[in-house]
Amino acid sequence: MNLQVIEYYESLLKFEVMEKQFTSTSQTLKETVEQYVGQDAVHKNDILTAYSNVMKELIG
């Protein structure tokens, strides 16, 4: 795992969450993650870890 990549994708996902609060985008966070994995398959595990971390923060 690459911690810098995980932190990068966590930041992107948090930005997506904040943006969704102010816009009416219909794409879910999971769909966004799938898009990121499609664009950066080399870091799939890091992206999924970042997604998991962000979801834990959101849920509490």
Q: What residue segments make up the domains of the chain, in order of their start?
A: 3-59
Residue 55: per-residue pLDDT: 93
Residue range 6-15: mean pLDDT, rounded: 95
pTM of the model: 0.84
* pLDDT tens sequence across 23-59: 776 778 899 999 999 999 999 999 999 999 999 998 9
Between 3-22 and 29-39, two packed helices, what is the crossing angle to 10 degrees? 140
- Estimate the share of the chain in helix, then strand, then coil, as percent rounded to the nearest 5: 85, 0, 15
Residue 6, CA distances (Å) to 22, 23, 56 in order: 25, 25, 14
